[in-house]
Amino acid sequence: MSAESIITIQGLDTYFGDHCVHHDLDLNVYRGEVLGIVGGSGSGKTTLLREMLALTRPAKGSIKIFGHEIIHASLNTLLSIQRRWGVLFQQNALFSSLTLLENVSFPLEEHTQLNASTIRDLARLKISMAGLPMDAANQYPSELSGGMQKRAGLARAIALDPELLFLDEPTAGLDPNTAAGFDELILNLQSTMGLTIVMVTHDLDSLWKVTNRVAFLGNQKVMFVDPMPLLVKQADEQIQAFFSGPRGRVVQEGYTHGN
């Protein structure tokens, strides 16, 4: 793994009122890797993601993305960073009043000086790269199925060929088959487009299949950052509770025996 760190988080403190979510949290994400973020409910996974996206401001600490400090970044710095990342939200956050094609064209229209037909062609390319049929292009998000909406959200997230992709629960609410297809798609895009991916997920299959390393959040910190096979062997109580439940064991056996 190359040592270039794309995201560097140091000494992060977050409070909701008096409730401490993160205390002195450190995390590094390296170029080209797929990092999973897991943890029990309320361990601050989504909050951490929102802080990396500069949507929530932590109380203390430093978050550097592409070498720029984003917590106190000027609007211009932030805009130039935002152009280089793509985000797939848990609820997809597709613009409901725009068609799929318009949704995917939106970042291209905002951030490039390309002419309309080029934008349309590029958007169509992204739509088909996300594995969507072309006749979905003129449909509105509400007319698409859950799995298609996820793919549409992904198509919009990769519209500008980002270096960094954030995925929040990408497979939540999908049936196992569609979820597996989505994992496959993420892996494909990751290798062809050279993406760095940070994904928050509960899906054990995704964790085994897609991630290179997994950060386990607990006790207001990142407790461990390890590849899955190592992580599940950690003796810590929380880890064991998380991965050795009945579901965790089945998935784990499938993957360790399969390999």
Question: Which parts of this chain interact with other proteins (CB under 8 A)?
Answer: 95-97, 101, 108, 112-115, 118, 121-122, 124-126, 128-129, 133-135, 137-138, 140-142, 158, 160-161, 188, 191-194
Q: How far is the CB of 154 from other proteins (least distance, A)?
A: 13
Q: Shortest Cβ distance from residue 164 to other proteins (Å)? A: 13
CB of 162 to other proteins, least distance (A): 9
Measured distance CA(139)–CA(94) in Å, rounded: 12
* Shorter beta-carbon distance to other proteins: residue 145 or 191: 191
Our CB check for other proteins shows the closer of 192 and 259 to be: 192
Q: What's the N-to-C CA distance of the chain in angstroms? A: 21
Smaller CB separation from other proteins, 56 or 112 = 112
Smallest Cα–Cα separation from 62: which of 27, 11, 23?
Answer: 11
Sequence letter at residue 237: E
To other proteins, the closest distance from the beta carbon of 11 in angstroms equals 33
Looking at beta carbons only, is 160 or 251 nearer to other proteins?
Answer: 160
Looking at the Cβ atoms of 38 and 189, the one nearer to other proteins is: 189
Burial class (CB in 10 A: 0-12, 13-18, 19+), 72: exposed
The structure tokens listed for 34 are 């797929």
Contacts of 110 (CB under 8 A, 6+ apart): none
Nearest approach in angstroms of CB 243 to other proteins is: 32
CB 232 within 8 A of CB 226: no
What distance lies between CA 42 and its chain's CA centroid?
A: 18
Q: Which is nearer to other proteins, 23 or 83 (CB)?
A: 83
To the nearest whole angstrom, how small is the minimum distance from the Cβ of residue 96 to other proteins?
3
Cβ nearer to other proteins, comparing 12 with 119: 119
Nearest to 32 by CA among 64, 8, 2: 2
The nearest distance, CB 115 to other proteins, in angstroms, is 8
Tokens of 98: 């725009």
177 three-class SS:
helix
* E strands, the chain, in order: 5-16, 19-30, 34-39, 60-65, 68-69, 85-88, 164-168, 196-200, 213-218, 221-226
